[in-house]
Amino acid sequence: MASRKPFVAGNWKLNGSVELLNEMASSIEAVSNDQSVDVALFVPALLVGESAKLDVVTGVQTVSEFESGAYTGEIQASLAKELGAKYALVGHSERRHIFGESDDVVAQKFVMAQQQGLTPVLCVGETEQQREQNETESVISAQIDAVIDKLGVAGLEQSVIAYEPVWAIGTGKTATPEQAQQVHQFIRAKLASLDEQIAQRLQILYGGSVNEKNSSELFAQPDIDGGLIGGASLKKDAFISICESAKG
Ligand code: 13P
């Protein structure tokens, strides 16, 4: 089994401030100093430059599928890169469900992020209803296939996948470690059937109501390589303790 470095990322969504960023930066530096865990923050786009200047590994929460042009309000991948971003979330369930992004649009964003030198973090996950109807695997497959259709499995080499069951996001209802592991294993096996090496190297993160109490057990699962943390990433002590727990 390939040894994958754990990765913990905070997704601040439409929250946070310059003050919070300053407060977090030195603690993040301290916890990631020994190189045993990758730590990043997906800050609101307006904070990307500030965050990168503080040497925080930084990501944007979405990017436009368009390179440039008359698209008022969009976030330009190349500019995020220029400001120092390393990662871009694509296909977060809030983008899919609130802003109507289809699998195809998400895949175009993935392509654009990668073309501009950002590492895409592809978010996938099923709704509660889809889970109840036994559609978890088919939904996630379609979300991943949309990217593979455009780039081949090789497109996933420089990327990260985050499994975020929609029913667990912001609800306090976490997937059990077994439920999460089952889906992570499914994702890895699906990719392994196309390219074993890529599958073994890929970091697959779990997201959905992760906190400092449940993170160790989740991260101990063999196919869970860390987490994408929403609410708890806005609290310094909780977030740092989650990062610590990923060190194993
Ligand atoms: P919560 O941790 O608040 O459930 O959010 C998860 C998430 O959406 C991270 O991207």
Match domain 7-246 to its CATH number in 1.10.10.60, 3.20.20.70, 2.40.170.20, 3.30.2320.50. 3.20.20.70
Cβ 229 under 6 angstroms from ligand 1: yes
How much is the pLDDT for 173?
Answer: 86
Domain ranges of the chain: 7-246
Angle value at C-alpha 238, between 236 and 244, nearest 5 degrees: 100
Tens-digit pLDDT profile for residues 134-170: 999 999 999 999 999 999 999 999 999 999 999 999 8
How much is the pLDDT for 172?
Answer: 84
Residue of the nearest CA to atom 1 in ligand 1? 230
Can you tell me the mean pLDDT for 203-227?
Answer: 97
The model's pTM = 0.97
C-alpha to C-alpha distances, 192 to 56, 130, 222, 241, nearest whole angstrom: 32, 25, 15, 32
* Cβ atoms of 204 and 188 closer than 8 Å: yes
Residue of the nearest CA to atom 5 in ligand 1? 230
Neighbours of 68 (CB within 10 A): 11
Set 65, 164, 184, 212: catalytic member? 164
How much is the pLDDT for 3?
Answer: 79
Given a cut of 80, whether residue 212 has pLDDT beyond it is yes
Strands 203-207 and 226-229: parallel
E strands present in the chain: 7-11, 38-42, 58-60, 87-90, 119-124, 160-163, 203-207, 226-229
Is 164 part of the annotated catalytic residue set? yes
Atom of ligand 1 nearest to the CA of 231: 3
| Residue in 229, 234, 242 to alter for ligand 1 test, most ligand atoms within 8 A of Cβ | 229
Cβ 233 under 6 angstroms from ligand 1: no
Residue of the nearest CA to atom 7 in ligand 1? 230
Tens-digit pLDDT profile for residues 1-47: 457 999 999 999 999 999 999 999 999 999 999 999 999 999 999 99
The H or E element that residue 131 is part of is helix 128-132
